[in-house]
Amino acid sequence: MNILSVKVYVPADANLIFGQSHFIKTVEDLYEILIGSGTAIKFGLAFSEASGHCLIRSDGNDEQLKNKAEQELLKISAGHSFLIFLKSGFPINVLNQIKNCPEVCRIFCATANPVEVILAETEQGRAVLGVVDGFKPKGVESAEDVTKRKDFLRKIGYKR
């Protein structure tokens, strides 16, 4: 068995949601969740089929994001994983609905940070062991940092 790391390249001004699901219907159900979010989210999603033809299945309302999700998921090549790229919205807008999708088993991360997927590779295939989401902490926030955090949340509309 080999352990490897695959860097996921997030498009500019985009967020990603990376998870694991269990059925080919994942593509249709995730599409319906995202398109029905009631926001102006642009997205592309890809799902890695783990049996049968073992294809990357995809959909979305933004062709560039869809193509990028296909490319990045093909690099990861772990069965039953899915990758969503979002623009004009945030994972928080759709994450609970995605978690409640019957096919979704787990969410590994939802972020705009640089991501590395840690994989185990055997003769049979690849498994996701975890992800590296962003960078190590540099310290503990100060009172000034707390104020900046709260101001930022108000600026983007998540707090009043």
Write the DSSP assignment of 59-120 as a string of letters. Answer: EES-HHHHHHHHHHHHHH--TTEEEEEEESS-GGGTHHHHHTSTTEEEEEEEESS-EEEEEE
Confirm whether 160 is domain-assigned: no
CATH number at residue 84: 3.40.1520.10
Confirm whether 13 is domain-assigned: yes
Per the structure, the count of domains in the chain is 1
Residues of the chain where predicted confidence (pLDDT) is lower than 70: none
Q: Which amino acid is at 132?
A: V
Instruction: Give the pLDDT confidence of 66-79 residue by residue, as tens digits.
Output: 999 999 999 999 99
Confirm whether 146 is domain-assigned: yes
Does the predicted model carry a pTM greater than 0.85? yes
Confirm whether 115 is domain-assigned: yes
Residue 111 vs residues 44, 72, 124, 136: alpha-carbon distances, Å: 15, 15, 30, 15
Q: Give residue 160's pLDDT.
A: 77
Instruction: Give the pLDDT confidence of 83-100 residue by residue, as tens digits.
Output: 999 999 889 999 999 999
Tell me the residue range of the domain where 117 lies: 2-155
Q: Give residue 60's pLDDT.
A: 96
